[in-house]
Structure 1
Amino acid sequence: MAAALETAAGALLTVFDAARERTISRLSGAQLRAVMVVERHDGINLRRLARLLDMLLSSASRLCDRLVAAGMLEREPGRSDRREISLHLTPEAERLLAELRADRRQRLAVILAGMTPEGRAALLAGIREFDEVARLRYAPEPPTAEAPAGAGAGPGDWAARAAGWPPGEPSMGRTA
């Protein structure tokens, strides 16, 4: 069953990859993941971003430098500690993510239109159940001292811990 699912899911991943390649040609995969994490955790600090991306702090800092230079992220001094920065998306990054999602949805709609209504309903029910079970199995990390309560790993971050999926990539149950 797992092998059959892996094969079948390949088509979904191909659709997502094609949309990403067409829409986000200005960003690397790592940059896109960072932008998506900042979107989910607005105001995140660099240390937590590095942890969610499974990167060294210095690598995450360089990645953010490139995203700031590209006009995708803004840095803001921390409210309690001016040495700490918080990260926010720019309007350009928000437009880019909206374009990516619109392209994904359009590509999915074309494929879904070729399916029977029963097949579409079964697919959605199965993916929702899969997402629910995976969220329970790979529950978000508990908040740390640098992350306030309720700001643990976001929905979809379980996927990063399950089967080595890239951190920050959305789960199937999200609208990313």
Structure 2
Amino acid sequence: MLTNAQNLRSDAALASALRVSLARLTRRMRKQAAHHSLTPTQLATLVAVERHTAMTPGELAEHEKVQPPSMTRVIAKLEARGLLERKPHPTDRRQVTVSVTPQGAALLKEERLTKEAWLAQRLKDLTPEERATLRAAAPILEKLSTM
């Protein structure tokens, strides 16, 4: 019988193991979401707008890989909840930009704190060596996510 380390010697095996583990961890973290009843698409949209400060609806649709009419509906729902606001485009009067409201920023902060608290609790169950391995892997995982 092969050990886990032997099973992960090939890049394909490592890719498969990472895909499964990261997907499982992502699902578990989603379950820890703050109680705000946003859909994953709405939450991803809010995060994207926060990261980019202000975006046009078209830029946002392209960034999130959805059709513009779908993004328009998502923006309308977030705006109705007071989480996003539309403003005139600074250089093109035909367009608007969307930005996160203080209420939207507070919701995202609560979301992050809730998930980080859950994850911090899980980390306490690991050995110091396992936590050190994760500390070393974190920048590598970040690099993978931006390639």
Aligned match for 2:78, one of 67, 72, 95: 67
Residue aligning to 1:8: 21
Instruction: Report the CA distance between 1:130 and its aligned residue.
Output: 2.9
Structure 1 spans left out of the alignment, 5+ residues = 139-176
Instruction: Report the CA distance between 1:12 and its aligned residue.
Output: 2.1
TM-score after normalising by structure 2: 0.82
Instruction: Report the CA distance between 1:133 and its aligned residue.
Output: 4.2
Q: Which has the larger radius of gyration?
A: 2
Residue aligning to 1:53: 64
What is the count of residue pairs matched by the alignment? 134
Aligned match for 1:128, one of 114, 139, 143: 139
C-alpha distance in 2, partners of 1:10/1:119?
Answer: 20
C-alpha distance in 1, partners of 2:97/2:26?
Answer: 32
SS, match of residue 88 in structure 1: strand
C-alpha distance in 2, partners of 1:124/1:115?
Answer: 12
Structure 2 spans left out of the alignment, 5+ residues = 1-13
Residue aligning to 1:84: 95
Matched-pair identity in %: 31
Q: Does 1:106 align with 2:117?
A: yes
C-alpha distance in 2, partners of 1:7/1:24?
Answer: 26
Deviations 1:34-86 (A, max 9, x none): 10110011111111001011111122112111111111100001121222101
Aligned match for 1:29, one of 40, 43, 62: 40
Residues 3 and 18 from structure 1, CA distance in 2 versus in 1: closer, same or farther, beyond 3 angstroms? same
After alignment, is 7-16 or 60-69 more displaced?
Answer: 7-16
SS, match of residue 54 in structure 2: coil
Q: Give the alignment's Cα RMSD to 1 decimal.
A: 1.6
C-alpha distance in 1, partners of 2:66/2:23?
Answer: 26
TM-score after normalising by structure 1: 0.70
Residue aligning to 1:170: none
SS, match of residue 29 in structure 2: helix
More helix by share: 2
